[in-house]
Amino acid sequence: MDYQARIKQAFLDSGIAFTDEELKSIDYADFGLNRLETEGLNLIVYVNNDTYCAKEMALLPGQTCPEHRHPRRGVNQEIEGKRETFRCRKGKVYLYVEGEENTKSIKSQIPEGQEAYYTVRHEIELNPGEQFTIEPNTLHWFQAGEEGAIISEFSTPSDDPSDIFTNPNVKRVTE
Amino acid sequence: MDYQARIKQAFLDSGIAFTDEELKSIDYADFGLNRLETEGLNLIVYVNNDTYCAKEMALLPGQTCPEHRHPRRGVNQEIEGKRETFRCRKGKVYLYVEGEENTKSIKSQIPEGQEAYYTVRHEIELNPGEQFTIEPNTLHWFQAGEEGAIISEFSTPSDDPSDIFTNPNVKRVTE
């Protein structure tokens, strides 16, 4: 099965109901890195207005969203950075945020050769029904466990172009 | 099965993962009307901070959330009213909002004797995967179909005491 078909299947297998239109509009984000299976993220955006945003995200086993933060934004930096709550719906996700290292060896495998771009090590394991809120401008990255993961995100508005990735090669293109 | 056990079961049957703590903290809102089975709403709040809110709501078959709106709030009315997106996850919900009557006879049954408190008639039917956004200060009420409903709500912050219900007998008490 090709990549997009596998992602669609992961969303369908989640038990969450989607419209056909939503399944056709999945955002397969490769961050301009061209190695979707290792560093990628797949999103269905439910709503993104000027006050809040909600989406469903799917990750293949071991797939990783590269480290980034959501800084202040707007012409005069008048808008607070994005705050977001991740809620694991299925599978398992390892989330890493700024803060004290709380494990000797993290459970995720950093994508080979990319160690310089994964700098935060405070590990939070999220199983179905568990959630964590990431405050604005906090570096974070996450990786699905061996069964993949479905994660809901509730947040202030999404504005991908303002995100700052640790890897300078990342290009987050959005239509 | 008593009311609370039935609601818990509805949440469990939804296929959505909840923590034990969440299932213990379900808000069984009766709006001070003492007829939960007809006018009531059951909520698990995932997050409610000063920027956004997300919850899961369960309704028994035919159960109705009374008509209300979310006006401007704050000491000097400086905060916009709550805007909210309802997304049906399971079952069916009939949502009524301000606007042109778009059906000769609505599909819901207004709770007996309460007709004066259900004034808006613009009907929106939401099936699993379908959603609708209610703008601030817009009168709305909703009723589950014959299988009940599970609905996600994504919104600006919830602040129940500021809600204005059409029925003056409603008391929305929150801890």
A35: closest CA among A153, A123, A167?
A: A167
Q: CA distances (Å), B59 to each of A89, A146, B39, B90, in order? A: 21, 35, 10, 10
Q: Do A51 and B46 touch (CB under 8 A)?
A: no
* Residue B174 included in any domain: no
CATH classification of the domain holding B134? 2.60.120.10
| Residue A110: predicted pLDDT | 98
Beta-carbon contacts of residue B20 (< 8 Å; ≥ 6 apart) = none
* 3-state secondary structure at position B7: helix
Residues of B in contact with A130 (CB under 8 A): 19
* Residue B20 included in any domain: yes
* Residue A171 included in any domain: no
| Spans of chain A, pLDDT less than 50 | 175
* Residue A67 included in any domain: yes
The reported pTM is: 0.96
Q: With cut-offs at 50, 70 and 90, classify the pLDDT of residue B173.
A: low
* Residue A78 included in any domain: yes
* Residue B171 included in any domain: no
Chain B residues touching chain A at CB-CB below 8 Å: 15-19, 22, 46-47, 49, 51-54, 80, 83, 85, 87-90, 127-131, 133, 152, 154-156
For B3, which DSSP code? H
In this complex, the residue of B46, B83, B130 whose CB is nearest that of residue A154 is: B46
| Residue B172: predicted pLDDT | 78
Q: Which residue of B has its CA nearest to A83?
A: B51
Contact A51, A59 (CB under 8 A): no
For chain B, the domain total comes to 1
A174: closest CA among A163, A101, A133?
A: A163
* Residue B172 included in any domain: no
| Residue B1: predicted pLDDT | 86
Residue pLDDT, tens place only, B95-154: 999 999 999 999 999 999 999 999 999 999 999 999 999 999 999 999 999 999 999 999
Whether the complex's predicted ipTM is more than 0.85 is answered with: yes
In this complex, the residue of A17, A47, A83 whose CB is nearest that of residue B154 is: A47
| Residue B175: predicted pLDDT | 46
Q: Which residues pair with A149 in a beta bridge?
A: A59, A91
Dihedrals phi, psi of B21, to nearest 5 degrees: -60, -40
A41: closest CA among A65, A14, A6?
A: A65
| Residue A70: predicted pLDDT | 97
| Residue A1: predicted pLDDT | 86
In this complex, the residue of A49, A51, A129 whose CB is nearest that of residue B17 is: A129
B154: closest CA among A88, A153, A164, A65?
A: A153
Mean pLDDT across chain B: 96
| Domain of residue B114, residue span | 3-165
Q: Is the pLDDT of residue B57 over 70?
A: yes
B94: closest CA among B121, B62, B126, B131?
A: B126
